[in-house]
Structure 1
Amino acid sequence: MEIVTAGADAELDARLSKELDAFNLRATPGSAQAEFTVRITDAAGGLVAGLSGWSWGERAGIGMVWVRDDSRTAGWGGTLLAAAEAEARARGCRTVLVSSFTFQAPAFYARHGYTETARVPGFPGGHEDVYFLKQL
């Protein structure tokens, strides 16, 4: 046996994701687990905004949301959420889960109908990780 501690490892991350997905599906027979993305590009093909998420049974989750600095007040975040929620509904999901650090966008999610369910303190700068849930 050998234990190796290292930096980022895309190959290990992919393997862990595959193994945990298989374990989770064995533990929840009949459920489907799948990722999805939403991408907004400009006329030149540059990325303006994006979202990645997942669905598992009747729950969807949003993992990452990003909007380019010069486009942050143009409503693209709401457009991303609406598209993700539509995809979640199409997959039979009833709720969407997301978290946001206090220096990111908790007020944004609250404005879009997400209800705060938990806060985890202890992040740099005195920040917290805020968890939200939305009924679809």
Structure 2
Amino acid sequence: MTTDDDAGPTLTTGDGDTELDKRLGEELDAFNAAATGAADQGAFSVKVSDEAGLVGGLSAWTWGGLCGIELLWVRDDSRRGGWGSRILRAAEAEARRRGCDRVAVSSFTFQAPGFCERHGYAETGRTLGIPGGHADVHLFKSLTGA
């Protein structure tokens, strides 16, 4: 849907826009760096593959000593093989290498908050209203002394 106003800018609503996402990220990175003095250190990933394809992986970002885990997934047939733990430990090691001393992640209640807690993450809050009566659990871990 597009709303045109002859007197000024055009407001457009539509499907996902990768160019807009890129531009918004650049603008927010610049704003955040100016406000905090901490520059974006960038994204990283951890990936495990076998002959069948992707076993699992993780994507994260680091900024100002904080690592934010965005996505963590392990294929169903590999979930009992310890791959989730190995992936998470590898991400924490990379975060430390990048100078981070803390990690934040969120997980829906039907996903893996218990997994994160077993790895030393503590719940810091919840966002209610996830479909099916679930919540988004926010977790945090200090990497100092861990």
TM superposition score normalised by structure 1: 0.93
Deviation track 1:73-98 (CA, whole Å, cap 9, x = no partner) reads 11111111101000111111111000
Partner of 2:34: 26
Partner of 1:123: 130
Q: How far does residue 21 in structure 1 lie from its aligned partner after superposition?
A: 1.1
**Residues 53 and 60, structure 1, Cα contact 8 Å, conserved in 2:** yes
TM superposition score normalised by structure 2: 0.87
**Residues 29 and 39, structure 2, Cα contact 8 Å, conserved in 1:** no
Q: d(CA) in 2 for partners of 1:8 and 1:52?
A: 20
Corresponding position: 1:87 with 2:94: yes
Output the amino acid matched with 1:123.
I
Q: How has the CA–CA distance of structure 1 residues 123 and 72 changed in structure 2, closer, same or farther, with 3 Å as cutoff? A: same
Q: How far does residue 17 in structure 1 lie from its aligned partner after superposition?
A: 1.1
Q: How has the CA–CA distance of structure 1 residues 100 and 85 changed in structure 2, closer, same or farther, with 3 Å as cutoff? A: same
Partner of 2:45: 37
- List alignment gaps of at least 5 residues for structure 2: 1-8
Q: d(CA) in 1 for partners of 2:38 and 2:131?
A: 41
Q: d(CA) in 1 for partners of 2:127 and 2:104?
A: 15
Deviation track 1:91-130 (CA, whole Å, cap 9, x = no partner) reads 1111100000001101000111101110111111110010
Corresponding position: 1:61 with 2:68: yes
Q: d(CA) in 2 for partners of 1:21 and 1:72?
A: 35
Query: Greater CA radius of gyration, 1 or 2?
Result: 2
Q: How far does residue 30 in structure 1 lie from its aligned partner after superposition?
A: 4.7
Partner of 1:5: 13
Q: Name the % identity.
A: 59
Deviates more, 1:25-34 or 1:122-131: 25-34
**Residues 25 and 33, structure 1, Cα contact 8 Å, conserved in 2:** no
Aligned length: 135
